[in-house]
Amino acid sequence: MITKEEAKKRIEKLSKELEEHNYKYYVQARPSISDYEFDMMMKELVDLEKKYPELVSADSPTQRVGGAITKEFKAVKHDYPFLSLDNSYSREDLEDFDTRVRKGVAGEIEYVCELKYDGVAIGLKYEHGKLKQAVTRGDGEQGDDVTANVKTIRSIPLTLKEKNFPDKFEIRGEIFMPHKIFEQINKEREESGDPPFANPRNSSAGTLKMQDSAEVAKRKLDCIMYVMYAKEIHFKSHYESLKEAKNWGFKVSEFVAKCRSLAEIFEFIDYWDVHRKKLPFDIDGVVIKVNSYDQQKVLGFTAKSPRWAMSYKFKAETAATILEEITYQVGRTGAITPVANLKPVHLGGTTVKRASLHNADIIEKLDVRVGDTVFVEKGGEIIPKITGVDLKKRPAQSHKTKYISKCPECGTELVRGEEEAKHYCPNEWGCPPQIKGNMSHFTSRKAMNIDSLGEETINLLYEKGFIKNIADIYELKKHKAELMKIDRLGEKSVSNLLAGIEESKNVPFERVLYALGIRHVGETLAKKLARGLQTIDAIINASEEQLTATNDIGVEVAGSIKSFFHEKKNKELIERLKNHRLQFESIHSTQSPQSTKLTGLTFVISGVFTKFSRDDLKDMIEQNGGKVVGSVSGKTSYLIAGENMGPEKLKKAEKLGVKIIDENEFEKMIK
């Protein structure tokens, strides 16, 4: 058994080494050990911290996995105002900037050019080399404390390297989401019926404000630093500050250039205007800063921005072409998207034939008409968009676009909620793309995973009248003989199809719940709901308060769940699916405890665990007759402590003499 003194030393050593490997992997992209070795060291640290929870520090590498829940982000006043940058869009603007700078300060001027990252600005405060607080920009005077979420970003050091940093300083930079992660998240959102994020910037902002930091950890945000503030700084220029920040362990832009003339600045801009397309993340321009701190001081600030810096925004790539037709798409949720069908045009390396027109308001605002010459733009968005009309080229006989009032697929009168940008077709039970879309979602891999029943087969069986809703899928076996007569199917594929459908009856409840396609209930939420409320009946009968007690479920989502189950047709569908024996209860049901080993005992679970999830532990306690409560009191029998647990809870438990155990000890209790 390792003594506390020894554990302390080992924890310190492991923490230091893990942070170093983390740095090598995420900042330098040059790992020197294998993932396995890294995981083993992390496991050792987790185990030690579990044994001695009082030795867990706020900057332990174990904090990276998240687990802390923030219900409301605390407002924090900035120590230094959070300024923005003056924007320029043309070379003339930059020439004016250079002239102003040269008028303002005497002597040679050196500029630093760097990339303008398109994400969310963040201020990180460090004291004695430790990350103390991370605050968003907010309104410039005060922002939100998002420390727990920011700690999960691997490229942000929790403890600094080297020793020559000021005791107290703030460093600011941009949190952003690499393209690959962005695409993955949007795919998941579309699968759960949530509107996709328009661009990686919105996606980063949304992620940073999530309540559950373990979810943030999964989103793999990145962060690059670009400005430093401290009362006493020992270096003399911005360039040096970046170099030093890099030595302390921060990720700073590797693409910086010192420039002495406008010509050199333009060269940097031109290079990046072309090469930005190859970067794995978005930039929207270049930032030009006066390098010398002394000169910066002389130039000073306006109310909003420094006079020593200027951003140059890249023009989004645009092309002009003819709008040939506007068509309307109906999504799985009934949302209508107007689509511009264009005369094919070359834009940013691809041929564009279609562009999104978003909604009725945008069409109205731009007054786009069929036959118009329109400007198409490819910005940070995934699908190109129409940004304007060349009115000079408008044909004499053009007609104002009249937005459709009926669904193009089923003819139902469209509706539009007061706050909604989009029109919806309310005929969810009779509108073919909605029905087929719902069935495709139901059979998709992350839902019921019936891969023998993909989109094409669904279309076929729907057109032939075999399936009209998800419950019909389970009645297909009655029609085996007829199915085999369909040209495109044949005996083998029908057998496969039916076997896949049977197999899906074993899919666990949380995925069945996701498969139902309740608006806003994605994979993660379905899991939380299934684990929290255990059975479909409990979810159907849950009050709004019970629903919102689950993390990440707000009033809107609770409302969507309630209205889904309020619908008679949905109730009927669920009854039919129950009769077909799909899983409508979590396997670890609280309904009937399987043992009484823990009867009469009350547990508090805190922190993050390696073997089990918090929900697993809760299930295990309840299955054995125990009770789980949220906060430590005199009545608590045990505190099950994981990594990253709240220090307050620990203190309280120690004060009240509550027994503190880890997940292994707990496991022994019920074995």
- The nearer residue to ligand IVH, 251 or 423, going by C-beta atoms, is 251
Q: Confirm or reject binding of residue 85 to ligand IVH (CB under 6 A).
A: yes
Q: Is 288 in the site for ligand IVH (CB under 6 A)?
A: no
Q: Which CB sits closer to ligand IVH, 197 or 226?
A: 226
x/- site string to ligand IVH, residues 121 to 150, per CB under 6 A?
x-----------------------------
Q: Give the one residue of 53, 157, 249, 306 binding ligand IVH; rule: CB under 6 A.
A: 306
Residue 415 gets which letter from DSSP? B
CB-based contact 557:521 (threshold 8 Å): yes
Q: In what order do the strands lie in the sheet with 222-229?
A: 130-136, 120-127, 168-176, 222-229
CB of 383: closest distance to ligand IVH in angstroms? 25
Taking the complex as a whole, the smallest distance from the CB of residue 377 to ligand IVH amounts, in Å, to 20
Rounded alpha-carbon distances, angstroms, from residue 242 to 79, 109, 148, 254, 427: 20, 18, 25, 10, 58
- Residue from 148, 287, 497, 617 binding ligand IVH (CB under 6 A): 287
> Binding residue for ligand IVH (CB under 6 A) from 19, 174, 222, 377?
174
Number of residues that bind ligand IVH (CB under 6 A): 14
| Token pair of 370 as six digits | 């069929």
Beta bridge partners of 346: 351
Burial call 459-498: b when 16+ CB within 10 Å, e when fewer: eebbeeebbebbbbbbebeebeeebeeeeebeeeebeebb
Q: Which C-beta is closer to ligand IVH: that of 116 or that of 358?
A: 116
Query: Which one of residues 19, 49, 59, 114 is an interface residue with ligand IVH (CB under 6 A)?
Result: 114
* Contact in structure between 652 and 606 (CB atoms under 8 Å): no
State the nearest-atom distance from the C-beta of 305 to ligand IVH, in Å. 7
- Nearer of residues 174 and 662 to ligand IVH, judged by Cβ: 174
Q: Of these, 27, 83, 223, 558, which contacts ligand IVH (CB under 6 A)? A: 83
Q: Distances from the Cα of 154 to the Cαs of 105, 161, 170, 558, in angstroms? A: 40, 15, 18, 33
Q: What token pair was written down for 490?
A: 């044949």
202-261 residues near ligand IVH, rule: CB under 6 A: 226-227
* Closer residue to ligand IVH, CB minimum distance, 312 or 474: 312
Minimal CB distance residue for ligand IVH = 121
Q: Please state the closest distance from residue 283 (CB atom) to ligand IVH, in A.
A: 8
Give one DSSP letter per residue of 39-87, joined into a string: HHHHHHHHHHHHH-GGG--TT-GGGGG---B-SSPPEEE-SS------E
| Closer residue to ligand IVH, CB minimum distance, 19 or 114 | 114
Q: Which is nearer to ligand IVH, 153 or 227 (CB)?
A: 227
Q: Is 295 in the site for ligand IVH (CB under 6 A)?
A: no
Binding segment toward ligand IVH, per CB under 6 A, in 79-87, 412-420, 622-630, 631-639: 79-87
DSSP string for residues in 146-212:
-HHHHTT-TTS-SB-SSS-S-SEEEEEEEEE--HHHHHHHHHHHHHTTPPPPSSHHHHHHHHHT-SB
Q: What residues act catalytically?
A: 116
- Candidates 175, 309, 513, 542; binder of ligand IVH (CB under 6 A) is 309
3-state helix, strand, coil in the chain (%, to 5): 40, 20, 40
Kindly list the residues in this chain that would bind ligand IVH in the complex (CB under 6 A).
83-85, 114, 116-117, 121, 174, 226-227, 287, 306, 309, 311
